[in-house]
Amino acid sequence: MRQGVLTRWRDWINRRIPRTDSQVFSQKNIFILPSGAGVVFGILLLIMLITGINYQNSLIYLMTFVLGTVFIGAMHQTHRNLSGLTLSVTRTGEGTAGDDIPFYLRLTAGKDQAVAIQLMVDDSLLEQIHIPAGSTKDVILPVPSAHRGYVRPERIRIETRFPFGLLKAWSWLRPSSAALAYPRPLVAPEAGSQVEDGVEAAAITPVVGQDHADLRPFREGDLSQRVMWKRYARSGQMVVADWQGEQGSPHWLDFNAFPGADAELRLRYLAWLVADRVKQGARFGLNLPGEIIEPDSGSAHGERCLRALAAWGEMPPRDQDALSYGTRKSLDAGYAGAVK
C-alpha cells in the first residue's frame, strides 16, 4: 500500500517536473508547507483563538489576528523567494568512484531577490545562497558516487525558509546531463601488454615455446598464475616468472594483460597505470575491447583514457532512468590498496 502510494507520488512529480538542465520555478512547480516551527506556531494561534472566544477578550483576538497576518505574509514571501528563480546545469565534472562528483550550477534571480536558498542532493548541502534581483550566481554542488560510470542525481532539491522559518518552499531540478566517475585506481601487478607497435616489433617477438622467463621475488598484487609453485614446493621461496613471450609494446596499456581478473578489477588496474604514466610523462596507448586510443602523452591524453575507462561497457542514462550513484550494479571487494 505504502509503496504504491510512493510510486504514484514519484510518477506525478516526474510528470510535473520533467528532466531538463534548466528549470524556471513558478506557481506550477513550487511546493510550500509549514515547517516544524510553523506547525507549532499554528497550534498556538488556534489555542489563542479558542481562549479569546472562551473569555471574549478583545486583546487576545487582536494578538491572534495580528500573528495570523504575519503567518500569511510569511507564506507569500517564502513562495515569492523562489518564484521566478532559474536553476541550470552549466556543466558536469568528473572524479573517482566513491568520491563526490562536481555539478556546476547557475542560479538566476527574476525580478525579486532570492535569499537564504539551499541546494541539496542526498547528504550534500549548499546553504545560505543569496542572489540579488536580476543577478546570477554560479555554485558547485558535489554529488556522491559509489560506482564507476555515469552519475546523474534523480533530483536536486532547492529550498527556502526565508523570512521567518515558519514555512518551507521547495522544488526540484531533474538534470538530464550526467557526470562521469572514473574507476578507483588500484595498484596493478606486473603484466605485459599483448599489443605490438608494428611489424618490426612483431618480427623480434620470441616464438611461443621458446620463451625465456626472468625470475623475481613475489610482490603483493602479482597474479597467482605467475607464481612458480613447483619451485615454492621445493624451496619455500615464492618467485614470479616474467615471460618474455607475453610482453608486447611497453607503450600500450592492455585490458587483456590481466588474465584471471574480472572486468572491473582490470579497469581499476588500468586507471592506476594511466595515472602512473601521466605522472612520469610517458607516452602510452590504451587497448580496450571495442575501443583503441592511440599512444600519446600529457594530462589531456590521460583524461581521455580515464573517460574511456569510466564509460566502457556502459550506456548513457536515459531520461527515465534514475542513476544517482553511477551505472555499476555491483562493487568489487573493498578498496584496500586503492590509490587516492
244 has a pLDDT exceeding 90 = no
| 67 Cβ contact partners less than 8 Å away, ≥ 6 residues apart | 41, 45, 48
Do residues 139 and 88 lie in contact, with contact meaning Cβ atoms separated by under 8 Å?
A: no
Q: DSSP assignment, residue 338? A: B
175 has a pLDDT exceeding 60 = yes
- The 10 Å Cβ neighbour count of residue 139 is 15
Q: What is the pLDDT of residues 10-54, one digit of tens each?
A: 888 888 899 999 999 999 999 999 999 999 999 999 999 999 999
**What is the rounded average pLDDT for all residues in the chain?**
83
DSSP for 275-327 reads HHHHHHT--EEEEETTEEEEEE-SHHHHHHHHHHHHHTT-PPPPTT---TT-S
For residues 292-317, give the mean pLDDT: 92
Where are the domains positioned within the chain?
11-178, 199-311
C-alpha cell at 176: 538530464
- Residue 238 pLDDT grade (very low, low, confident, very high; cuts 50, 70, 90): confident
**Residue found by looking up cell 556522491 in the block:** 144
Do residues 271 and 305 lie in contact, with contact meaning Cβ atoms separated by under 8 Å?
A: no
294 has a pLDDT exceeding 80 = yes
Q: What is the pLDDT of residue 12?
A: 87
Q: What is the pLDDT of residues 255-273, one digit of tens each?
A: 988 888 899 999 999 999 9
Distance CA 63, CA 61 (A): 6
| 282 Cβ contact partners less than 8 Å away, ≥ 6 residues apart | 297
245 has a pLDDT exceeding 50 = no
Q: What is the pLDDT of residue 142?
A: 95
Q: What is the pLDDT of residues 74-91, one digit of tens each?
A: 999 999 999 999 999 999
140 has a pLDDT exceeding 70 = yes
330 has a pLDDT exceeding 80 = no
* For helices 58-82 and 36-55, angle between their N-to-C axes, nearest 10 degrees: 160
Do residues 77 and 115 lie in contact, with contact meaning Cβ atoms separated by under 8 Å?
A: no
- Residue 237 pLDDT grade (very low, low, confident, very high; cuts 50, 70, 90): confident
210 has a pLDDT exceeding 60 = no
C-alpha cell at 334: 573493498
177 has a pLDDT exceeding 80 = yes
Q: What is the pLDDT of residue 89?
A: 96
- Residue 340 pLDDT grade (very low, low, confident, very high; cuts 50, 70, 90): very low
For residues 229-250, give the mean pLDDT: 63
Left (φ > 0), alpha (ψ -120 to 50) or beta: where does 47 sit?
A: alpha
Do residues 172 and 24 lie in contact, with contact meaning Cβ atoms separated by under 8 Å?
A: no
Task: Read off φ and ψ for residue 285, nearest 5 degrees.
Answer: -120, 170
